[in-house]
Amino acid sequence: MTQYNNTRLLQALKRQPVDVPPVWLMRQAGRYLPEYRALRTKAGDFLTLCQTPQLATEITLQPLRRFDLDAAILFSDILTIPHAMGLGLSFQEGEGPQFAKRIETARDVKALPILEVEENLDYVLEAVRMIQQELQGRVPLIGFAGSPWTVACYMIEGSSHKNFINARKMAYQAPEVLTALLEKLITATTAYLKGQILAGVDVVMLFDTWGGLLTPAHYPLFSLTPMQKIITNLKADPNTANTPIILFSKGAVSHLEVMADSGADALGLDWTSALSAARTRVGAKVCVQGNLDPALLFSTPEKIKAAVKSVLNEWGPHPGLIVNLGHGIEQHTPIENVQALIAAVHEG
Ligand code: CP3
């Protein structure tokens, strides 16, 4: 077992008391950091960064060199799974992801190969091992995957879309095709997260960025149930049962109670819902992670300090809070404001 210097995140995930709440930021490694931009320019493109373990390791560590963060998050992407399944992912500068092939029919789903994590995603496992070597127990490492629904959105659409109309249409026109795709992604994601845990990540997070696009009837069917199956699979295997799981369904706060029953250890909240109300609704069942507005980081250190204070006061003395943003940090975020946020959490 790794001995950690900083156990705040792991303690909070067990709802144990901590000196101050742990803080980390979604997309903490990324384009707001000049050292990230320099490496990306040198490497040529984003996928090369993900697929080169030395570079992924370096980028994972970049924000930890600047800030007193309580966790590292693996530098990778949720779209590595469909890429490994042969859909041909690329990222054009200034644009979102683009797939060469997209999923439209039952035949397309059937043709998707079974993911062999050790072969197809070995570069991710290697990055995890290298990062842990470098971290030397300084902070825990978070691994991650996209939720099956969110990854399916990109596979069906073929690229980013503001409301993923083709994936939502499939939920009505061909629910059996969507379900078959989600089943394949449940299997692949379970294997992928197991691989990451065996390679050394300490916590895993499921990013369900597009769960909030679904109707109240479709959310449990197409978003929550597949995530729940992954959680059940991980909790049923003695090798992975003790690894805490964070579930983040953006824009889906109306489903908080059922999420709290999913088996996840923590729930991510976006900035549109209050922490205190969330705590009342989920009680001590799960930890809560969130929920500062990424736009707050474009204000001033004073305003950031006040916002952090109000989050900490609102939450109160209860264990089980992880301070984070309600979504990924934005590209042009001033670095001194990130510093101010982290310092404000640690000053309490
Ligand atoms: O949090 C971290 O620091 C770890 C790294 C991480 C990335 N992507 C790196 C990245 C994580 C956890 C993700 C998850 C991810 N990827 C999600 C879920 C979380 C979320 O933000 O909603 C989604 C939907 C994706 C898919 C994706 N990857 C898109 C739509 C894009 C392009 C648009 C954008 O926001 O940049 C990416 C590219 C991407 N993934 C970048 C980074 C640092 C930017 C690449 C670049 O231009 O250098």
Q: What is the pLDDT of residues 157-196, one digit of tens each?
A: 999 988 999 999 999 999 999 999 999 999 999 999 999 9
Q: What pTM value is reported for the model?
A: 0.97
Q: Is residue 2 part of a domain?
A: no
- CATH number of the domain that residue 23 is part of: 3.20.20.210
Q: Is residue 223 part of a domain?
A: yes
Q: Is residue 31 part of a domain?
A: yes
In the predicted structure, residue 3 carries a pLDDT above the cut 90? no
Q: What is the DSSP letter of 23?
A: B
In the predicted structure, residue 31 carries a pLDDT above the cut 80? yes
Measured CA distances, 12 to 44, 57, 182, 324 (Å): 39, 25, 31, 13
- Range(s) of the domain holding residue 41: 8-347
CA of 27 to the centre of ligand 1 (A): 7
d(C-alpha 169, C-alpha 180), whole Å: 15
d(C-alpha 89, C-alpha 48), whole Å: 12
Over range 307-316, report the average pLDDT: 95
CA of 313 to the centre of ligand 1 (A): 31
d(C-alpha 233, C-alpha 195), whole Å: 13
Q: Is residue 322 part of a domain?
A: yes
Which residues lie with the beta carbon below 6 Å from any ligand 1 atom?
26-31, 40, 46, 73, 75, 77-79, 91, 96-97, 144, 160, 207, 209, 328
Residue 106's pLDDT is 98
Residue 291 contacts residue 271 (beta carbons within 8 Å): yes
Q: Is residue 55 part of a domain?
A: yes
Number of domains in the chain: 1
Look over the chain and give the mean of its residue pLDDT values, rounded to a whole number: 96
d(C-alpha 180, C-alpha 106), whole Å: 8
Residue 1's pLDDT is 60
